[in-house]
Chain A
Amino acid sequence: MVETISVSNLRAGGYKFLAECYYPPDERRIQVWKSCSKSADPSLASIVRNIPPIDNLEVLSVDHSKLFVGPFALLAPPYGSVYLEGERKIHGDSTEDTLNWYGREGLNVKIREVPDHIAIELEFMSFLISKEIEAWESGDKEKANLFLDKQKNFLNAHLGKWIVDFTELVECKAQMLFYKKLAQYTASFIKNDMEYLTL
């Protein structure tokens, strides 16, 4: 069980870290990214190594904007419904379903973003894992397994269904190596996690 908790801690941390990386870069955030990866595995370190120097942060910011914010054609829309509903439109039925997922866990989205934004879905996975950890720690194996099921089901219904298309776009359209590596890492992280959850 101790091992499982450790794995889950790492998984939760991984999701949380990835969620952070999809927000607009700024100095504080970059410090956090760097601190998170100090003793990380080589893949993660290679992402962080590609963060440009702080005094040249603007180039990263411009790239992030073009990929995920705009203002013109989004190069890699970070919204699930764009991929899941076959129409370039947000706030579809699949978005509504993410809200149902969050609501069932007693959560609502407090930031002004669409609920199926990549960062929000990644953070939700981290939340589900932290609930699983809590359950293990309190000895409630049944509850822990319930949250493992939820993680699997959420990935199957949402994040896992669109992450490949999304990360392929990011990898293809990003100018900065940081986002290319981030996309590769995100895709493989989730792929492996989906495998892990079906074990």
Chain B
Amino acid sequence: MKSTKIKRSRRQFIKGAVITGGTLTAGTLTGLKAFGIKDPNTEINSEGMWKSTTCQGCTSWCSVQAFVVKGRAIKIRGNPSSKVNVGECCPKSHFGLQQVYDPDRLKIPMKRTNPAKGRNEDPKFVPISWDEALNTIADKIMELRNNNETHKYMLLRGRYTYMRDILYGRMTSIIGSKNNISHSAICAEAEKFGPYYTEGEWTYRQYDILNSNYILVWGADPLASNRQVSYYLSKWGEALERAQVAVVEPRLTATASKASEWLPIKPGQDSALALAIAHVILTQGLWYKDFVGDFNVASPIRKFIAGKTIPEEYHVDIKGKKILGTTFNEKHSNGLIKWWNLVLKDKTPEWAAEKTGLPVEQIRRVAINYGKAAPHAISWVGGGPVMQPRGAYNSMACHALNGLVGSVDNVGGTLKANKEYTLSFPSEADFVDEIAAAGKKHKKIDHRGRKEFPALNAGKSGGGVVTNRAADGILDEDPNEIKVAIGYMHNFPFSCTQTERWEKALSKIPFSVHLTTNASEASMFSDILLPCAHNMFEKWGYVKSHGNGYRHVTLLEPVIEPVWDVRIDETEIPWLIAEKLAERGFDNLLNHYKEYIDPETGKSPVNAEEFSLYSLKYATQNLWDPKKYKGGDKINGWKDFQDKGVWNSDPYPYKKRWGAMKTKTKKFEFYSETLKAALESHAEKHDTIVDDILGTCNYQARGELGFMPHYEEPYYMESEEEYPFAFVDFKSKYNREGRSANCGWYYDMKDYDPGDERNEDVARINPADAEMIGVKNGDPIRIVSPTGQLQCVAKLWEGTRPGTVSKCYGQGHWAYGSIASEEFGKKARGGNNNDVIRAEYDRLSGSTARHGFTRVRIERI
């Protein structure tokens, strides 16, 4: 090696260089600060290995593996052991690498130094120690407990795993509050409404696409978002070899671009189409007799004829003897004739064509082809038709088609989730003291169960959350003020509609904490930020998911050393808070957490790390402990489970629920006795009748209609003259739930969303409409609704139905990382759809409405 020669003297050097002197020598700052001495015996595997974990980029919850070299994650693939995502992953998984290694991540606990809160107030965050952060949080909680105000504590939950109950459930309960508010109702609760009130399952479906002959998709884009995207992306080609696909959506989706039919429906008119399809199936005799049943052979009426009522019973004279019979013998369904008589008989394709803007022939063709494919014909209900102000009945109408063609629980049809055997955490009941019990008697901040918010999750009045309403509860102090709030992995001032309500609500809370990987809009209004482990690379946890006829339980594992000083949101942080509360004389939470025993050693956790691991082993023991085996994959101990990263259920038991559905009648209910009971119970609770409830909640149905899938007009409030375009919101194939905005790849590849452009946030306008309003491709525009406005760029595109403007959700962050925002706190990059969508609800499910009710105008900037 050639040596560097010291040619110049010290004197010369000092003269020539600006260099420090005097007392500042190497000896002044002694010792190594950043470095330790490396153990020479530590062998690091530089070859790298695949380590199992889970992608939570969307709710597919794919089991994945990260290739880790010397502690650094390099690339991602699907976990080959998963039978749900079958070794595949989608583009979103890879974005995880840009998230975990994002220099803008929250790195250490921070506190705000500017006490004034508001959108235009810079919080001026500075770093603090974990100890200081936790002490402050514990002091605030103790203040509530000492003043018997525990009901003024609130927990907001965004993205979660099934470890959620530790922070969301148990901690809130033991402190003494009922205000644990999940994000579920801004996601897709209305999607579960139809299946529950027809077949008794409050859950998302899986779709047996490889055995299906017809796939009718409503407002979902399985090749981009919705659920099991990896699986469907990998198998869609195979499915297309056998099945026809029809997509109902006002914009040309990724799925529509590969479909046999695209039905560019007018927003909000989905149930009109669904009912017309049902009408055609019945009048053409295409319903599936083995499931629905058939006309009585002795009945004089044995056909559905448009416009004609069918008596439920018939009378015939046989040899002078009067015989009474049931006109239609239903097998596994309930109320078909009632549904026909009260709803379907006049819902012809001609009627629907006027409502939907679709050609009569297309409606008829799709209906007949769908019906002919029975029972291997899927009606796939996504968020589009249901996350609407009257979406509950759209959900029922679209899902009821699966009943007509007998595809429910059937080969090539719609399936529920398979059985799995995870365990609940220990009950906290013994640790809820008098103060907490008194606090828990107060009503929830989101108004669920009130007359105007039935939120009928699984049949129960107020059984579901009304996430977006919590902002109004906080603002109006109704039923009480909120003094202390902890929120994790949520960003409601961005992700909820009519965002400014959340900005004001969070500003009003005197003390709030945000647990997150990246500071975001919600952080702007927080007092303390706690940095969280990234769910794919740094966290212990588990989630369940179903697809391909299986269910898997997949582990989230810390496959790399955490990059910064982060903690796990759902386990470590509540433990650390529990320790601080115990130091202050309130040890119920810590004592409860100590009951989460390690099933292998019988040891109780003594620190946050042990608690995190033991609680996971506790919940999943039945899956990995051979002594507790109950079904599915046979796994040989915890280490084996960690390595595999996933447990798979037994295959799907088709038709097992035929005749044994969890509805009132145990049948598939076209006339929902289950909904009738739920509505009557809610009405009784408020000392009124069902019709009053329906009116109060903005539904048009009265009487028996309220218990059946039926047509409701879209709930537009704006005038078409002033706001001529219906606004269509959609999700990108790259949206990691609105958290991709600081990933460079998102912008680099945005044009893979059909109609979108790289490095732009575009609103897609039909060229004919654009010409009328004088807008050209690439024009900067403002989209204005009565509740707000956003700025973006015009894109002229034939894939948008005339009269609508469609725009992807995800951009428009005004406070996030350097890629996501143009200028921190001041200028957003792109526009946030939620700024123009009014806070409106499908009140029966509690869901926040996003589709089919917003009108806007477009202004050139």
A80 to B816, CA, bound (A): 22
Chain A residues within CB distance 8 Å of chain B: 3-4, 6-14, 16-17, 19-20, 24, 32, 35-41, 43-44, 58, 61-62, 65, 69-74, 77, 79, 82, 87-92, 95-96, 99, 102-103, 106-114, 117, 119-120, 123-124, 126-127, 129-130, 133, 142, 145-146, 148-149, 152, 185, 188-189, 192-193, 195-199
Min CB distance B489 to A, Å, is 15
18 residue pairs of the A-B complex, CB under 8 angstroms, read A8-B26, A10-B21, A12-B26, A17-B28, A36-B29, A44-B20, A70-B107, A71-B106, A71-B125, A72-B523, A72-B821, A88-B104, A88-B744, A110-B35, A145-B4, A148-B6, A149-B1, A189-B19
Q: A35-B28, A36-B20, A65-B127 are in contact. List 19 more A-B contacts (CB 8 A).
A: A7-B13, A9-B27, A10-B21, A13-B20, A14-B19, A24-B126, A36-B23, A39-B22, A62-B113, A71-B529, A88-B103, A91-B72, A102-B38, A111-B34, A127-B32, A146-B3, A192-B17, A198-B4, A199-B7
* Closest residue on chain A to residue B124 by CB atoms: A62
Report if A40-B24 is in contact (Cβ < 8 Å); known contacts: A62-B113, A90-B563, A112-B565: yes
Q: How far is the CA of A119 from the CA of B29 in the complex (A)?
A: 14
* Closest Cβ–Cβ distance, residue A80 to chain B (whole Å): 11
Instruction: Check B716 for interface membership: any CB of A closer than 8 A.
Output: no
The smallest beta-carbon distance between B63 and chain A, in angstroms, is 24
Q: B824 at the A/B interface (Cβ < 8 Å)?
A: yes
5 tightest CB-CB pairs across the interface, nearest first? A39-B22, A73-B818, A71-B519, A3-B10, A12-B26
| A197-B4 contact given A72-B816, A72-B824, CB 8 Å threshold | yes
CB pair B103–A24 under 8 Å, yes or no, is no
Q: In the complex, how many angstroms separate the beta carbon of B520 from the nearest chain A beta carbon?
A: 9
Question: What residue of chain A has the Cβ atom nearest to residue B531's Cβ?
Answer: A71
Contact with A along B226-258 (1 / 0, CB 8 A): 000000000000000000000000000000000
Distance of A52 Cα from B127 Cα, bound (Å): 18
A35 pairs with B18, CB closer than 8 A: no
Q: With a CB–CB cut-off of 8 A, which chain A residues contact B478?
A: none
Residue from the set B35, B529, B562 with the largest chain A CB neighbour count within 10 Å: B35
Considering only residues 440-472 of chain B, those with a C-beta below 8 Å from chain A are none
| Known pairs A7-B14, A129-B26; A40 contacts B38 (CB<8 A) | no
Residues of chain A with a CB closer than 8 A to B13's CB: 7, 196
CB pair B103–A71 under 8 Å, yes or no, is no
B9 & A3 in contact (Cβ 8 Å cutoff): yes
Chain B min CB distance to A91 (Å): 5
Contact of A4 among B3, B6, B565 (CB under 8 A): B6
B817 touches A (CB below 8 Å): yes
User: Contacting B563 at CB < 8 Å: which of A35, A40, A88, A91?
Assistant: A91
Q: Is B36's CB within 8 Å of the partner chain A?
A: yes
- A177–B816 Cα distance when bound, in Å, is 26
Which residues of B lie under 8 Å from residue A109 when comparing CB positions?
Answer: 34-36
Residues A17 and B103 in contact, CB atoms below 8 Å apart = no
- Contact residues in A for B10 (Cβ distance below 8 Å): 3-4, 6-7
Q: In the bound complex, how far is the Cα of B20 from the Cα of A129, in angstroms?
A: 15
Cβ of B110 under 8 Å from chain A = yes
Q: Decide if A35 touches B23 in the complex (CB within 8 Å).
A: yes
**Minimal Cβ-Cβ distance residue in B for A71:** B519
> Which A residue's beta carbon lies closest to that of B22?
A39
Shortest CB distance B190–A (Å): 34
CA distance A38 to B22 in the complex (A): 8
The residue in chain B whose Cβ has the minimal distance to the Cβ of A184 is B18
A55 vs B633: C-alpha distance in the bound complex, in angstroms? 63
Interface centre among A32, A70, A87, A89 (most CB of B within 10 A): A70
Provide the residues of chain A in CB contact with B14, threshold 8 Å. 7, 10
Report chain B residues within 8 Å CB of A88: 102-104, 744, 818-819
- Collect the chain B residues with CB atoms within 8 Å of residue A124's CB: 34-35
CB distance B33 to A70 under 8 Å? Answer: no
Q: Please, which residue of chain A has its CB at the minimum distance from the CB of B6?
A: A4
Q: Are A199 and B8 in contact (CB under 8 A)?
A: yes
Residues of A within 8 A of B18 (CB): 41, 43, 185, 188-189, 192
In contact, B744 and A113 (Cβ under 8 angstroms): no
A36, chain B: closest CB distance, angstroms = 5
> Which of B3, B9, B125, B818 is close to A145, meaning CB atoms less than 8 Å apart?
B3
Q: Is B105 an interface residue (CB 8 A)?
A: yes
Cβ contacts under 8 Å, B519 to chain A: 70-72
- Chain B nearest Cβ from A25, distance in angstroms: 10
Check if B351 is an interface residue, CB within 8 A of chain A: no
Contact of A9 among B25, B34, B518 (CB under 8 A): B25
